[in-house]
Structure 1
Amino acid sequence: MQLAAIIVSLVLIVVGVALFGRALLQIYNFMRLGQPVPAGTRTNDPTQRTVTVVKEFLGHTRMNRWGIVGVAHWFVAVGFFTLLLTIVNAIGQLFQADWILPVLGDWAPYNMYVEFIGTMTVVGILVLIAIRQLNHPRNPGRKSRFAGSNFGQAYFVEAVILIVGVCIFMLHALEGAQHHVDGYEASFFISYPVVHWLAGMDVSTLQNLTYFFAGLKIATSFIWMITVALKTDMGVAWHRFLAFPNIWFKRNATGETSLGALLPMTSGGKPINFEDPGDDDVFGVSQVEQFSWKGLLDFSTCTECGRCQSQCPAWNTGKPLSPKLLIMSLRDHAHAKAPYLLAGGGKTMEGEEKASEEQLKDVPAAALAEAERPLIGTVEENGVIDPDVLWSCTTCGACVEQCPVDIEHVDHIVDMRRYQVMIESAFPSEAGTMLKNLEKKGNPWGLAKKQRLEWTKEVDFEVPVVGKDIEDLSEVEYLYWVGCAGALEDRAKKTTKAFAELLHIAGVKFAIMGGDEKCTGDSARRLGNEPLFQELGMENVMALNTAFGEELDDEGKVTAESRKPKSAKKIVATCPHCLNTLGNEYPQLGGDYEVIHHTQLLQHLVDEGKLIPVTPVEGIITYHDPCYLGRHNKIYTPPREIIGKVPGLRNEEMHRHKERGFCCGAGGARMWMEERIGKRINNERVDEALSLNPDIVSTACPFCLVMLTDSVNGKKNEGKAKESIQVVDVAQLLLDSVRTPVDPAGEAETESEPEPEPVK
């Protein structure tokens, strides 16, 4: 047994190490197929990036959101990387059964660590196996986060971990038995009962057991190594190595999720100048090699855990998009196409082959066939990603928020959309109306710009307009960016008027733009029309910089002499999409402003005592987190603080809230597209809200307000919701409570604003 174990183990070690080294080189060459990224964007602040990796790994900061799963995975992950010396120990035990590591072998703290982590690795993997079985797709079907994952690969990896963990435990116990541990001691504080049982066996039996478990441990470990080395697209195994560089190279060095701003369009690692694009500039992604190397790293790192899938509003309402399956499809396609690309293959913009027949003569037929598949195409076209998958995304960011290895799904989806919109003109037809309206009228509804100021005639106080009532914004504290919805959509206008009235009551000096401003371009950018976003954005930036009293040169850029600090340019917005674009994306266009959401300002005014909620607003309320306020900008507390200050309200949280909040269905330009597949996302969200039997559904976004109101009204018509239920913005709630109450005689105690009309 000893001889057989030695021979088999040594052969497997040599073969495994050689193949694994080759696999690492293959993966490196594979990543180099991707496009470069702008200099410094993925390598800035290396010290902080290293700290982020250590923090995310040792703290399991992303995994621990899932309770026991995170704890179990922590022990498995830590055991894998910190018990590597047990392999050395096992090799020594093949030659001498009672061999122990020099120095460490007799050190009690090391033995206690091996004992504890080894045991907990076994417990941890058993927990993860049980969770996978309890959530097997055969039970909950599509609702399982493991639906579509490679179960065979997962079972193989789980079996390897379990076997190795058991071997570590048994070899440690055999050490104790062979070294005549005849009483309880710290080094064997868990395994002592097994040590005591083994001590009754003869020396020969103990030695043979040692050879067996040592050989089994080594064979299992290196069979695993050989397997993953031969299958470099096995994400469920490779994520334990690739997760570290993927986290290190994430967009934000300090660890924030890759949400908020979209990345500017680049070609060959350089930003595209849309006023004068280069002849060889590539717009968006139409072939897998046009993704950046970070994109290819993302695809290979996916562990198929399905956390993104479980939170995706599209997948949860019967649509074909699963962020997990999308990333897996891109990974499998990229790896299958890699031999063709590594041989120099590729297509020009005109569809001509770059490589000669001689270069491609040794490329496997399967790789050549994969190269002919369109990246975006229907099943009939043998496409990698179906168009319905691409256009189902709301860019809500739930996938990015939940991914434990920091995959940037939204960026990759938008990159593919960009090519479809800009080059193929292939996108849902109804979105074309929105784009035309933005081009011609500067707003998605196609209304005249003069209508942007109509709401000011419906309030009983003066609303200063910059350039008309005041020269520039230095005379006020805030620019109130009303936005297209807030100025033009009837339901959103109620929020606009309520917020403006609250600012008036609190004595906050503010002003609005004069109606010449355009849509910020959020929907155009997330649809994929980057040039239109750039055009709208640059016009707005010029208008804003002028309004803030900064002088512009001939190119429309702020002169160095007139440039004001960011803190002197304060903007407040009621629309989270405007908030995100103005604050996070306009710096890419030369506009650097301090942008806050209206709920943040209102909370501040309430805390300062400038707004005092006194009138009770009775009933149960549930608050819906807008994706672009919550996940994209991490603003969760202010709306809830305001609700908590309004007397009479009892807040009930929906099951999916805050970081796990569920989209209303309007993001990613979905506001302007029909929802033809599966259940409507806003109906799914409203059903969750109605399960709490609320009197009020509140939110803090005009898009959400429209989507939730439409669904609630539909439920009322079907008799599935009580007629009294209201959908309102947080600002409307606060205004109802701040207004001076009426005395019993029917006359106001002091001069007050008129009572609001009921929200319908």
Structure 2
Amino acid sequence: MQLFAIIVTLSLSVVGLALIVRAVVQLVRFMKLGQPVPAGSRTDDPKARSATLTREFLGHTRMNRWGVVGVAHWFVAIGFLTLPPTIVNAYGQLFEADWTLPVIGDWTPYSMYIEFIGLMTTLGIATLMVIRLLDLPSRPGRKSRFAGSTFWQAYFVEYVIFVIGLAILMLRGLEGALHGVDHYEAAYFVSYPLVTAFGGLGITTVQNLVYFWAMVKLGTTMIWMITVALNIDMGVAWHRFLAFPNIWFKRNARGRDALGPLLPMTSGGEPIDFETVFDDEGGEETQFGVSQVEHFSWKGLLDFSTCTECGRCQSQCPAWNTGKPLSPKLLIMSLRDHSHAKAPYLLAGGGKTAEGEEKATETQLKDVPAAALAEAERPLIGTLEDNGVIDPDVLWSCTTCGACVEQCPVDIEHIDHIVDMRRYQVMIESAFPSEAGTMLKNLEKKGNPWGLAKKQRLEWTKEVDFDVPVVGKTIDDLTEVEYLYWVGCAGALEDRAKKTTKAFAELLHIAGVTFAIMGGDEKCTGDSPRRLGNEFLFQQLAEENIATLNAAFGEDDEDETTRLPTAKKKIVATCPHCFNTIANEYPQLGGHYEVIHHTQLLQHLIDEGKLVPVTPVEGLITYHDPCYLGRHNKVYTPPREIIGKVPGLRNEEMHRHKERGFCCGAGGARMWMEERIGKRINNERVDEALSLNPDIVSTACPFCLVMLTDSVNGKKNEGQAQETIQVVDVSQLLLESVSVERVPASESAPPA
């Protein structure tokens, strides 16, 4: 038995170690195929990055949101990281059955730790196995987060871990029997029943059992290693190693998700400046977006290989949940499989020029497998008929809501990759949903998505009972007021959103807060064109707005002495998309401002006693979290606190709220595109709201307001919703409670 165990184990070990070394080399070479990233963007503040990695791993900060699953996975992960000493011990036991590790082998605390973690790892993986086995039958089709995952790989990994955990416990029991343990000892507090059972066997039998279970433990480990080494695209296994660098190299060193701002479009690791990109001869070689898998950065390729196919992103995706072809998990898996299949071709020097000509010679490609050559011919974006890797309907279904990024336990940056592919489609191929073209033309010609004249931006000011200061008309600049109120295109031009604008302005007036608005020369912040993929138009709009804002704040680019401190450049916005763009993306182009959302300011004014809700607003209310306010910018509390201060309101949360809030369907420029596949996302969200039988559905975003109102009105017409239900912004509710009667604001003094 001993000789057999030694031969089998050492043979598997030699093969396994050789293959795993080769696989690691292959992975490193594969990652180097990706494009560089801007200098320092992934390596800044190494201490913070290391702290973030430690916190996310030891705290399992993402996984633990899933209750039992998180706890079970934590023990499995800790076991994988800390039980390797048992591998060394098992090798020793092949040659000497009662061998133990030097120094710590007989140390009781170490033995107790191995016993406890060995047991909990085994129970943890058993729990995860049961959950996976029960999930598909109980949640058929799209409802299962495992739908589309590679099942044989997942089952293989789970059963391997279970067998190894079982072998550890068996070996502990056999060790106790060999060491003559005849009474309870703390060192064997888990395996003592096994010690007792094995204690009645003969010494030779126990020794043979040690050789057998050592072989089982090490042989299973090596079979796992060989399988993983031969399948370097096996994310469910490789994430155990790749998750650590993927988290360390995440976008934000201090741990924030890759949400909020989009990354600037880069070529060769440098951000593209559209004012200068064509000034030199190299401009024609600039890569606009991603049209081939090798155009992704090395971090993108690392993302793809790290995906563990857990499906948390898929379970939260609004597109997937409404019958559309986009699953963030399946998209990443498709990119992973394609990139690995194409890798031999790329490593041989293959690739296409901008004109579509082959870079490599026939000699370079002569040893490339036919499968890799065939994979290289597949278009990255293309229909099933075109043999495309990613179908256009998948690409354009994304609302950039951020649910996938927020849920991913290994920090994959789905939105960045989707937008990079959109950028190429829009800017080079001009291939995007036709309805979005109208929005782009209106932005180019009129500076707003509706194509309305700029003078109409001020029309709403005629509908309030007080004077609204306008920069460049009634005041020279913003030095005379506390805030610039950035009204935004929807707030100024869309009838439903204008109600929010007027309510918020009236609340500021009641509270005695001085503010002003722009004079109509401002343009769309560029949120929609940027998320559609038109980076050029975004930069154009943003730079014009930054110049307009700086002038309004009294800045002179040529005179440093006139510049205001950043802290005094205060902007408040009612649109989360404007809020996110000005606060998080304008700094990429030199525009630095202090930006808050209107719910944050209103909460502050209530806390200061400048706004006092007194009139009851009766009814049951449910609040919808705008994605770009909530997930992208972590503003969850202020709207709820405002609702909580309004007398008479009874708040009830929808099932999906806060971090797991469900999108309205308007983000990612989807506001300007038709939904032709599956159920409309806004209808899905409204159905969830109506299940509570509310009197009021509230939100804090003009896009959400439009989408939810459209759905509610449609359901009213179909008799599926009560006629009295309202869809309103939280500012409208607050105004209704603050002002007992709508008297001219000039006749009402601000509350003490």
Instruction: Evaluate the alpha carbon distance shift between residue 173 and residue 610 of structure 1 in structure 2; reply closer, same or farther with a 3 A threshold.
Output: same
Aligned residue for 1:49, secondary structure, equals: helix
* 8 Å Cα contact 1:523/1:669 also seen in 2: yes
More displaced, 6-15 or 731-740? Answer: 6-15
Match of 1:344 in 2: 349
For residues 656 and 734 of structure 1, what CA distance do their matches in structure 2 show?
24
Match of 1:467 in 2: 472
Match of 2:51 in 1: 51
1:380 to 368, 379, 385: 385
* 8 Å Cα contact 1:35/1:293 also seen in 2: yes
Aligned residue for 1:617, secondary structure, equals: coil
More displaced, 269-278 or 522-531? Answer: 269-278
Match of 2:634 in 1: 634
Match of 1:276 in 2: 276
Match of 1:594 in 2: 594
For residues 16 and 538 of structure 1, what CA distance do their matches in structure 2 show?
56
Give the aligned residue type for 1:733: L
Alignment map for 1:437-476 (pairs within 5 Å): 437-476=442-481
Aligned residue for 2:400, secondary structure, equals: coil
- Alpha-carbon shift at residue 137 of structure 1 (Å): 6.2
Aligned residue for 2:562, secondary structure, equals: coil
For residues 355 and 627 of structure 1, what CA distance do their matches in structure 2 show?
45
Match of 1:756 in 2: none
Aligned residue for 1:698, secondary structure, equals: strand
Per-residue CA deviations over 1:707-748 (Å, capped at 9, x if unaligned) read: 000000001011111000000000000000000359xxxx99
* 8 Å Cα contact 2:510/2:748 also seen in 1: no
For residues 160 and 250 of structure 1, what CA distance do their matches in structure 2 show?
30
Gap regions ≥5 residues in structure 2: 278-282
Give the aligned residue type for 2:203: V
For residues 246 and 351 of structure 2, what CA distance do their matches in structure 1 show?
26
For residues 192 and 560 of structure 2, what CA distance do their matches in structure 1 show?
74
* 8 Å Cα contact 1:740/1:750 also seen in 2: no
Per-residue CA deviations over 1:147-192 (Å, capped at 9, x if unaligned) read: 0000000010001000000000110111111111111111111111
Instruction: Evaluate the alpha carbon distance shift between residue 605 and residue 342 of structure 1 in structure 2; reply closer, same or farther with a 3 A threshold.
Output: same
Match of 2:202 in 1: 202
* 8 Å Cα contact 1:615/1:741 also seen in 2: no
1:330 to 335, 340, 354: 335
More displaced, 168-177 or 484-493? Answer: 168-177
Instruction: Evaluate the alpha carbon distance shift between residue 443 and residue 748 of structure 1 in structure 2; reply closer, same or farther with a 3 A threshold.
Output: closer
- Alpha-carbon shift at residue 45 of structure 1 (Å): 0.3
Alignment map for 1:358-369 (pairs within 5 Å): 358-369=363-374
- Alpha-carbon shift at residue 749 of structure 1 (Å): 14
Aligned residue for 2:595, secondary structure, equals: strand
Give the aligned residue type for 1:569: K
For residues 132 and 473 of structure 2, what CA distance do their matches in structure 1 show?
64
Match of 1:3 in 2: 3
Instruction: Evaluate the alpha carbon distance shift between residue 706 and residue 473 of structure 1 in structure 2; reply closer, same or farther with a 3 A threshold.
Output: same
For residues 539 and 215 of structure 1, what CA distance do their matches in structure 2 show?
70
- Alpha-carbon shift at residue 138 of structure 1 (Å): 7.6
Alignment map for 1:573-588 (pairs within 5 Å): 573-588=573-588
Match of 1:180 in 2: 180
Match of 2:705 in 1: 705
Per-residue CA deviations over 1:201-227 (Å, capped at 9, x if unaligned) read: 111111111111100000000110011
Per-residue CA deviations over 1:646-679 (Å, capped at 9, x if unaligned) read: 0000100000000000000000000000000000
Match of 2:252 in 1: 252
* 8 Å Cα contact 1:137/1:147 also seen in 2: no
For residues 136 and 110 of structure 2, what CA distance do their matches in structure 1 show?
38
More displaced, 273-282 or 627-636? Answer: 273-282
* 8 Å Cα contact 2:614/2:647 also seen in 1: yes
Structure 2 residue 544 is matched with structure 1 residue 539: yes
* 8 Å Cα contact 2:509/2:745 also seen in 1: no
Give the aligned residue type for 1:374: P
Alignment map for 1:560-571 (pairs within 5 Å): 560-571=560-571
Give the aligned residue type for 1:282: Q
Structure 2 residue 120 is matched with structure 1 residue 120: yes
- Alpha-carbon shift at residue 624 of structure 1 (Å): 0.1
For residues 652 and 584 of structure 2, what CA distance do their matches in structure 1 show?
31
Instruction: Evaluate the alpha carbon distance shift between residue 383 and residue 648 of structure 1 in structure 2; reply closer, same or farther with a 3 A threshold.
Output: same
Match of 1:737 in 2: 737
* 8 Å Cα contact 2:53/2:247 also seen in 1: yes
Per-residue CA deviations over 1:373-414 (Å, capped at 9, x if unaligned) read: 000000000000000000000000000000000000000000
- The alignment of Structure 1 onto Structure 2 pairs a total of residues equal to 744
Aligned residue for 1:336, secondary structure, equals: helix
Alignment map for 1:390-401 (pairs within 5 Å): 390-401=395-406
* 8 Å Cα contact 2:465/2:745 also seen in 1: no
Match of 1:757 in 2: none
TM-score by length of 2: 0.98
For residues 130 and 560 of structure 1, what CA distance do their matches in structure 2 show?
66
Give the aligned residue type for 1:489: E
- Alpha-carbon shift at residue 195 of structure 1 (Å): 1.0
Match of 1:144 in 2: 144
Residue identity over aligned pairs, in percent, reads: 80
For residues 364 and 563 of structure 2, what CA distance do their matches in structure 1 show?
56
For residues 305 and 199 of structure 2, what CA distance do their matches in structure 1 show?
47
* 8 Å Cα contact 1:376/1:383 also seen in 2: yes
- Alpha-carbon shift at residue 562 of structure 1 (Å): 3.0
For residues 221 and 549 of structure 1, what CA distance do their matches in structure 2 show?
68
Per-residue CA deviations over 1:487-527 (Å, capped at 9, x if unaligned) read: 00000000000000000000000000000100001000000
For residues 560 and 259 of structure 1, what CA distance do their matches in structure 2 show?
33
Aligned residue for 1:561, secondary structure, equals: helix
Instruction: Evaluate the alpha carbon distance shift between residue 749 and residue 659 of structure 1 in structure 2; reply closer, same or farther with a 3 A threshold.
Output: closer
Gap regions ≥5 residues in structure 1: 554-558, 754-760
For residues 744 and 407 of structure 2, what CA distance do their matches in structure 1 show?
51
For residues 584 and 47 of structure 1, what CA distance do their matches in structure 2 show?
24
- Alpha-carbon shift at residue 560 of structure 1 (Å): 3.4
Match of 2:280 in 1: none
Structure 2 residue 534 is matched with structure 1 residue 495: no
Structure 2 residue 527 is matched with structure 1 residue 504: no
Match of 1:239 in 2: 239
2:556 to 544, 551, 554: 551
Aligned residue for 1:400, secondary structure, equals: helix
Alignment map for 1:721-732 (pairs within 5 Å): 721-732=721-732
Aligned residue for 1:572, secondary structure, equals: strand
For residues 402 and 427 of structure 1, what CA distance do their matches in structure 2 show?
28
For residues 693 and 509 of structure 2, what CA distance do their matches in structure 1 show?
34
Match of 1:486 in 2: 491
- Alpha-carbon shift at residue 272 of structure 1 (Å): 1.1
Structure 2 residue 683 is matched with structure 1 residue 678: no
Aligned residue for 1:620, secondary structure, equals: strand
Structure 2 residue 267 is matched with structure 1 residue 267: yes
Alignment map for 1:38-187 (pairs within 5 Å): 38-136=38-136, 139-187=139-187
Give the aligned residue type for 2:320: W
- Alpha-carbon shift at residue 292 of structure 1 (Å): 0.3
Aligned residue for 1:279, secondary structure, equals: helix
Structure 2 residue 534 is matched with structure 1 residue 529: yes
For residues 655 and 565 of structure 1, what CA distance do their matches in structure 2 show?
43
Give the aligned residue type for 1:2: Q
Give the aligned residue type for 2:287: V
* 8 Å Cα contact 1:741/1:748 also seen in 2: no
Give the aligned residue type for 1:302: C
Aligned residue for 1:599, secondary structure, equals: helix
Per-residue CA deviations over 1:350-375 (Å, capped at 9, x if unaligned) read: 00000000000000000000000000
Match of 2:26 in 1: 26
* 8 Å Cα contact 1:137/1:146 also seen in 2: no
Give the aligned residue type for 2:159: A
* 8 Å Cα contact 1:421/1:529 also seen in 2: yes
TM-score by length of 1: 0.97
